[in-house]
Structure 1
Amino acid sequence: MSRVLRASAIMAAGTMVSRVTGFVRTALLAAAISTAYVGDAYNVAYAIPFILFDFLIGGILSSVVVPMIVKRQKNDPDGGRAYEQRLMTLGTVVLTLVAVLAVLLARPLIGLYTEGWNARKIEVAVTLAQYILPQIAFFGIGAIAGAILNTRDRFGAPMWAPVLNNVVMIGVLVVYYLLLGDAGADIDKVTGADLALLGLGTTAGIVAQCLVLVVSLHRAGFRFRPRFDLRDAGLGEMGRTAVWTFAYVGVSQIAFLVTTRLSSGAGEAAPGAGNSAYASAFQLFQLPYGIIAVSVITAMLPRMSRAVHDGQLESVREEFASGVRLVSALLVPAGLMLMVLGPAVTVLIFSWGTMTIDSAVYIGNVLQVFGLALVPFSIFQLLLRVFYAFGDTRTPVFIGAGNTVVSIALSLLAYSLLPAEYVVMGLAAAFAITYVVGTAIAWTLAARRVRGLQGRAVAAGLSRMYVAALPAALVALGVLWLTQELTDLTPLSAAIMLAAGGGLGMVLYLVIAHRMRIPEVSSIVGMVAGRVGR
């Protein structure tokens, strides 16, 4: 566990800075363009490159590429260098072509992910998409570079590179707001030049992020040489494995498509309660997951892949179980805190510029519902890596298909039964229920694959963590109630709620968990104490 903890700490530090600057970026974005019409148009345009990237290569990086690079590093006479060069060559060519094609198809792509939008809103979204879609190539090249760095146990750069992206975008948004003020959120007043600043600025951030990763890879000893001898690239093996990953991503994107269309439709009926609110709450939900779970997952997958390659199933079981316990040690209290303090978080971040307190509180209500999903969602992602370590991309497709069916059914139910202003909250609840069900199914199948996942030990650890976290949540709830009794909800009172309620709650959790001798928390406390003592 100490190896995972050390590697995860390095990544978590970078991810923390990345997420904090990401919060500043998100707050400035909401302040500049709001979460109504311009905000919805931007968020849909911004999401499409990530959707296409995930479909084309994002999914296979962790499930196929990392295990195959590890295999080539072990088996090839040159340590896999030629394979890495072919991979980078292929990725660069394919992703550049996709980016060009996506720009040409911007209008039908926007139409696919929207529902009931008027002509002006569609036009703004299409224009933004044409400026933003080229980032597919840069994002993909950077991601391939990051994957190669991970197989060399170089985890820092992939976690720190997004910070530069956020800094660039923060600068762009400051300029945008200073130039336009409240007019920047008025869809009838923004001009083509305004949209160019917003769209090209977004792409410039991704270009900077890509350059950081490419330079880091060069410093790690990788030398890019275009290689088109793809016959030796192992594409047949990769294709046979990746076809199931494409299927998994495709199935997952069906659920995302439905969610996006339903939230965009709700936003037309209830401005401010649409796709932008859902996307903003989801980004905040991703903070603890990104800082804690992603760091552990990234460090864990190469090691599990090596253990599978060496036939050491016991190491796989131990790696997975320790990863779950380590992740849950912080995500259990974080999930409860989101459920209690969600509106305080969003009022502090979003109630500026063109945003109102009520709009920020609404995002916080959605975030509270997402808090239910934090632990099951994170464990689900860890479970998928068990299959990927075996090179099994087929089983996750069937699990993902089940998730999609549950998600779509619950989302449609929420859309048909709830008033427009509550639809997005219903979609967040559908997300949470989906991952509870999906985690139960994935756990059962993964346990069969590795002959057990130390389920009793994990369940016992989680139970003790929740016991330790409940008093912390009650303290946060008490501070929330007292603050609301004494003053109105403002950014200042929200900051007090978070500092007093969240801060005291987390300290109380760490103290109780440490005294309960929960080993993962004790390791975290010991590591922090050691750093402070130096």
Structure 2
Amino acid sequence: MKKNTIMVGTLTLISLILGFGRESYIAYLFGSTQFTDAFYVSMIIPDIVAGWIGYTLINALIPVLKQETETSKLSSEKLISTAFNYVLLISALLAVAVFMFSEQIVGSIAPNFNDIQMSTGTEMLKIMSVAIIFSALSGLLSGINNTFEQYFFSSLVGIFYNGFFFVSLLMLNNWLGIDSLAYGLLVGVLSRCIIQIIPLLRTRILKFKLQLWHPSLPTVGKAMMPIFLSQAFSQINQIVDRILASGLSSGQITNLNYASKLGQLPTGLIGGTIATTMYIQFVKSANNNNLNEMNRLYSKGLMWIIFLGVLVSTGLILYGDSLVSIFYYHGKFTLNDAIQTTGLLQLYGIFSFFYMMLPISLQFFFSFHGGKRVMISSITGVIVNVTLGFILVHHYGVVGLVIANGTAVASNFSVLFIMAMRKVRINPIKNIYAVIMRILPGGIVIVIMLSTWKFAFPIDFSTNNLVLLVRGGMALFIVGLALILLSKYWKSENEILRTIANMMNNKKIITLTKKNKKKVEI
């Protein structure tokens, strides 16, 4: 599991770097305008529709598919073929519907758009409607690969998506202008579908057969309903956000998108990586009704997420201006855009813990078909987001929207955590206290080191990007060195510090082994 986590995390990091390269290039080409606002509003429709299908089916299918693979290979292959056929059919029908009603859809989620934004968003949505098919299939294929613990290919999704999107922009920008964004997204989604299907065809796990029934289909369908509804409530959040944001001044939706990409980077890199590699372990423990093991995995996952969350949160709050300057402050992206994006990014830093802890909490419940409880938490999040959104956006604009989103995610996680502790019969206060005490020594060191380095070397937006990169790299180096020294000289049974010390000892052992091997060969 540790090896898989490292592999998935490394590939996810490469994907995110490519993603920021793509976003940076978009900011360079188009800045923050009413046209980019139209793109970032219309692009969420394929994500919502395809994500709704893929997310629902994957989380209902994987526990059942895992049991099928352990009993009958032939039966599991038939279940995969059946699921593939239904996803292809449903996503194709939805793609046609989105294409035909593009204008009405854009008008519904962005009622305050002007005529130019409406026509731009409608045209882009028609182009991107085809992406619904490939995006839904990509989600299904990713879940199947993860079920068979083929994490390498599912982790390549982001790399292919961002890489092909970026290349498409380079080739099409001068020819198509703003529409190149829509075509770039379509090419990116197609590429991530292809890379997912290759290993399944090669190993003959997926076979193209007209299979429309399987005995486990009712079980999957029953498990899908609460997940489907919980995902529907989550999509309401996104739709409400876009409705509220459509009334903001030109460029603010784009700045919000750039800030959210940086602010939620750790959600995929840390929270998503840990959740992905632990999900199959959750499923195995749930199938054996091993509540102690489920609690151990969940608590350990939360411990590392919170520990790394201290680094992330402090870094985003103190060094947010540097990140915005490095990735976005060039070309048509103005100083005012950079300042506004930085403020939003710092707010994301405050709520980053909750964004990162949500994926593993969801996977915990999906491992034993606990979709009904996820639905309850989703409803709580929607109520909080809608209520605070209408209040805060009116008074604080886009800042209020970020606060509403963050508070809703915090509420969603809190409800899930309490219900998870009830499932494993553990006192939630006692559990979270134990987790916090494990991360406290290292967390304090992280905050002190990052704060000291920030105030020792204050830098503004006018600073050269190379200098900003060096300062950020040195900050991480100092934090790492401080944690190594703390783990080495502070005699404690703290699990995190002990793990860091063991990692360093293992590195020394590997080095010595390599040296001895060379001597023997000589």
TM-score by length of 1: 0.88
- Corresponding residue of 2:186: 203
Report if the CA contact (8 A) 2:82-2:211 is conserved: yes
Closer/same/farther in 2, CA of residues 128 and 456 from structure 1, 3 Å limit: same
Report if the CA contact (8 A) 1:263-1:278 is conserved: no
Counterpart Cα distance in 1 of 2:35 and 2:483: 41
Give the stretch that moved more between structures: 440-449 or 497-506. Answer: 497-506
| Residue type of the alignment partner of 1:42 | F
Aligned residue runs from structure 1 range 210-289, under 5 A = 210-230=193-213, 232=214, 234-266=216-248, 268=249, 271-272=250-251, 274-289=252-267
Report if the CA contact (8 A) 1:321-1:453 is conserved: no
1:20 to 13, 17, 21: 17
Closer/same/farther in 2, CA of residues 196 and 293 from structure 1, 3 Å limit: same
Closer/same/farther in 2, CA of residues 166 and 444 from structure 1, 3 Å limit: same
Secondary structure of the 1:7 match is: helix
- Corresponding residue of 1:325: 303
1:108 to 101, 104, 108: 104
Counterpart Cα distance in 1 of 2:343 and 2:486: 28
- Corresponding residue of 1:48: 45
Secondary structure of the 2:305 match is: helix
Secondary structure of the 2:426 match is: coil
2:168 to 172, 175, 190: 172
Q: What number of residue pairs does the alignment pair up?
A: 508
Report if the CA contact (8 A) 2:310-2:447 is conserved: no
Deviations 1:496-518 (A, max 9, x none): 44223344335434544664554
Report if the CA contact (8 A) 2:30-2:332 is conserved: yes
The answer as to 2:320 corresponding to 1:342 is yes
Deviation, 1:487, is: 8.6
- Corresponding residue of 2:518: none
Counterpart Cα distance in 1 of 2:194 and 2:500: 33
Secondary structure of the 1:78 match is: helix
Secondary structure of the 1:299 match is: helix
The answer as to 2:4 corresponding to 1:7 is yes
Counterpart Cα distance in 2 of 1:353 and 1:487: 14
Give the stretch that moved more between structures: 438-447 or 46-55. Answer: 438-447
Report if the CA contact (8 A) 1:332-1:466 is conserved: no
Counterpart Cα distance in 2 of 1:454 and 1:354: 49
Counterpart Cα distance in 1 of 2:256 and 2:104: 23
Counterpart Cα distance in 1 of 2:42 and 2:29: 16
- Corresponding residue of 1:409: 387
2:400 to 411, 422, 426: 426
The answer as to 2:351 corresponding to 1:373 is yes
- Corresponding residue of 2:55: 58
Closer/same/farther in 2, CA of residues 195 and 348 from structure 1, 3 Å limit: closer
Closer/same/farther in 2, CA of residues 219 and 466 from structure 1, 3 Å limit: farther
The answer as to 2:473 corresponding to 1:499 is yes
Deviations 1:254-287 (A, max 9, x none): 1211112222311x2xx33x22222221111222
Deviation, 1:530, is: 4.6
The answer as to 2:136 corresponding to 1:140 is yes
Report if the CA contact (8 A) 2:442-2:483 is conserved: yes
Report if the CA contact (8 A) 1:333-1:509 is conserved: no
C-alpha RMSD of the superposition: 2.5
Counterpart Cα distance in 2 of 1:525 and 1:227: 55
- Corresponding residue of 1:128: 124
Report if the CA contact (8 A) 2:46-2:132 is conserved: yes
Counterpart Cα distance in 2 of 1:360 and 1:220: 48
Give the stretch that moved more between structures: 500-509 or 361-370. Answer: 500-509
| Residue type of the alignment partner of 1:172 | S
1:523 to 499, 512, 516: 499
Give the stretch that moved more between structures: 65-74 or 140-149. Answer: 65-74
- Corresponding residue of 2:416: 442
Give unmatched runs, 5+ long, in structure 1. Answer: 181-192
Counterpart Cα distance in 2 of 1:38 and 1:509: 46
Secondary structure of the 2:246 match is: helix
TM-score by length of 2: 0.90
Closer/same/farther in 2, CA of residues 221 and 498 from structure 1, 3 Å limit: same
Counterpart Cα distance in 1 of 2:407 and 2:484: 28
Counterpart Cα distance in 2 of 1:476 and 1:327: 18
Closer/same/farther in 2, CA of residues 507 and 119 from structure 1, 3 Å limit: farther
Report if the CA contact (8 A) 1:357-1:490 is conserved: no
- Corresponding residue of 1:190: none
Deviation, 1:369, is: 0.6
Aligned residue runs from structure 1 range 20-99, under 5 A = 20-62=17-59, 64-76=60-72, 78=74, 80-99=76-95
Counterpart Cα distance in 2 of 1:485 and 1:167: 32
Closer/same/farther in 2, CA of residues 133 and 518 from structure 1, 3 Å limit: farther
- Corresponding residue of 1:183: none
Closer/same/farther in 2, CA of residues 245 and 528 from structure 1, 3 Å limit: farther
Counterpart Cα distance in 2 of 1:528 and 1:137: 46
- Corresponding residue of 2:444: 470
| Residue type of the alignment partner of 1:82 | K
Deviation, 1:250, is: 1.1
| Residue type of the alignment partner of 1:197 | S
Counterpart Cα distance in 2 of 1:68 and 1:207: 28
Secondary structure of the 1:101 match is: helix
| Residue type of the alignment partner of 2:361 | L
Report if the CA contact (8 A) 1:8-1:292 is conserved: no
Report if the CA contact (8 A) 1:259-1:427 is conserved: yes
Counterpart Cα distance in 1 of 2:157 and 2:33: 30
Deviation, 1:333, is: 1.4
| Residue type of the alignment partner of 2:265 | L
2:150 to 138, 149, 154: 154
Report if the CA contact (8 A) 1:333-1:466 is conserved: no
Give the stretch that moved more between structures: 474-483 or 39-48. Answer: 474-483
Counterpart Cα distance in 2 of 1:278 and 1:519: 38
Give the stretch that moved more between structures: 456-465 or 34-43. Answer: 456-465
Counterpart Cα distance in 1 of 2:459 and 2:280: 51
Closer/same/farther in 2, CA of residues 165 and 229 from structure 1, 3 Å limit: closer
| Residue type of the alignment partner of 2:56 | G
Deviation, 1:151, is: 0.8
Give the stretch that moved more between structures: 145-154 or 109-118. Answer: 109-118
Deviations 1:52-72 (A, max 9, x none): 11222323412x121121122
Counterpart Cα distance in 2 of 1:196 and 1:487: 31
